[in-house]
Amino acid sequence: MSETVLLVGGGGREHAIARALADSDTDLYACAGNRNPGIARLADGFETLETTNTTAVVAYAEEVGATLAVVGPEGPLAAGVADALDEAGIYAFGPHADEARIETDKAFQRRFMQEHDIPGCPDFETFDDMEAACEFIDEYDGDLAVKPAGLTGGKGVKVTGDQVTDEEAKAYLRDSDYDRVVLEERLVGEEFTVQALVANDQLRVTPAIQDHKRAYEGDEGPNTGGMGSYSDASLELPFMTEDDYHEAVEVLKETVAALDDYRGVLYGQFMLTADGVNVIEFNARFGDPEAMNTLPVLTTDFLDVLVAAREGDDLPKLSFAPEATVCKYAVPDGYPSDPEAGAKVKISEENAGEAILFYASVDERDDGIYTTTSRSFAVVGRGESIADAEKIAEDALSIAGEEGLHMRHDIGTEELVQRRIDHVQALRN
């Protein structure tokens, strides 16, 4: 039976989801606050609306006769879009707002881990009094990650001993308008992500990926929404062992078991430390850019996962092409602190070479596509090795050019990957 799927969201992650559904037996519709040209070309219809407006999303879903929905970003999940779609009789692959708190409320997230004995939880304290938080910084013996409890688009965390001094962290808290913050021990190691598709108390895991949050090469500069990422042709990354990967998967399994009827994507961001795998955070949706590494190599029909989830059936086993991927984002000059919009995007899906182009936040005009103040587009290379995939991505960026754009050219390079390997070996020794 043909399905009518509504995709909620208009970023690079959602372009990857749309591409994964485009060849399935489905009529695809999308809605987002921005008109993503890549999604619009794949969809049978595209409506521009505020995706946190549950009434507007449900109205459009009913108008197109949606039988399934996929909620991409965290904002609509926090607003209860999945709840509202379910109430309207449209199965939404995405957690209800209460379950999405595993991402949207970091204080809840840590207390949940503590209450259910989920492994990998660092030492932490939560505060709604910023002066009390500042006193904790003064008294704590070690470095801390300072995290707003709510959503910050990946840009709100400050780490003492790395990004800021103790005094700068306290000034950050005092100058902020945060209601609650989480202060937790700084984890030292190598970050990686494992994402799981979850429904009917089952989960199906995907290959590990390493994202790069820092704006500049060499992991310098402010945090961003993510400048790019890479995966290997195996489930684990070159600096990991199979045991490291399975340790992370076990954390996801225990988390799903403790959650009440969770469905959608559960994204675990982990730190591989000298003492094993620790949890940096959970997200309640595909990562962006990690979706662009995962979905292009997924050989299982993503629609089959959605239908099985809705029907209460066993989720299909996931299969992946034995290929490495490298994703590199192009962002406007000055991003994230002072982005300059309006540069014309020269690369297109037709001239990207062997790479896959995913549009994110762009402005399509009569005479072409232009950057906005958010991440603009990503290119993804696939190959037998990370080095092969990285070359394909770099070739695509050379087509895009540098005018008005900023990229991290070091993501996925042999030098960067080797530094990760050496770092973990040094930690373990």
Radius of gyration of the chain (CA): 21
Mean per-residue pLDDT, 49-67: 98
Residues 20-41 have pLDDT tens digits of 999 899 999 999 999 999 999 9
Greater pLDDT, 52 or 260? 52
Beta strand pairing status for 181-185 and 144-148? antiparallel
- CA 191 from centroid of its chain's CA atoms: 13
The predicted structure's pLDDT at residue 156: 80
> pLDDT at residue 152 above 80?
no
The predicted structure's pLDDT at residue 154: 66
Q: Give the mean pLDDT of the chain.
A: 96
The helix/strand/coil state of 140 is coil
State the DSSP code for 320: B
> pLDDT at residue 418 above 90?
yes
Kindly report the CA angle at 62 between 60 and 65, in degrees rounded to 5?
A: 110
Residues 68-84 have pLDDT tens digits of 999 999 999 999 999 99
The predicted structure's pLDDT at residue 255: 98
Q: Is the dihedral of CA 423, 251, 180, 129 positive or negative?
A: negative
- CA 317 from centroid of its chain's CA atoms: 22
> pLDDT at residue 224 above 90?
yes
Segment holding 66, helix H or strand E: none
Q: How far apart are CA 390 and CA 414, in angstroms?
A: 9
Instruction: Let me know: does 317 contact 204? Beta carbons within 8 Å.
Output: yes
The predicted structure's pLDDT at residue 150: 85
Q: What is the pLDDT confidence band of residue 162, given thresholds at 50, 70 and 90? A: confident
pLDDT > 70: percent of the chain: 99
The predicted structure's pLDDT at residue 161: 86
Q: How far apart are CA 339 and CA 225, in angstroms?
A: 13
The predicted structure's pLDDT at residue 163: 85
The helix/strand/coil state of 202 is strand
The helix/strand/coil state of 271 is strand
Q: Is the pTM of this model over 0.85?
A: yes
Mean per-residue pLDDT, 281-305: 98
| Of the listed ranges 94-108, 147-161, 216-230, 336-350, the one predicted with least confidence | 147-161
> pLDDT at residue 260 above 90?
no
Mean per-residue pLDDT, 412-428: 98
Q: What is the pLDDT confidence band of residue 297, given thresholds at 50, 70 and 90? A: very high
Q: How far apart are CA 281 and CA 184, in angstroms?
A: 11
- CA 158 from centroid of its chain's CA atoms: 19
> pLDDT at residue 349 above 70?
yes
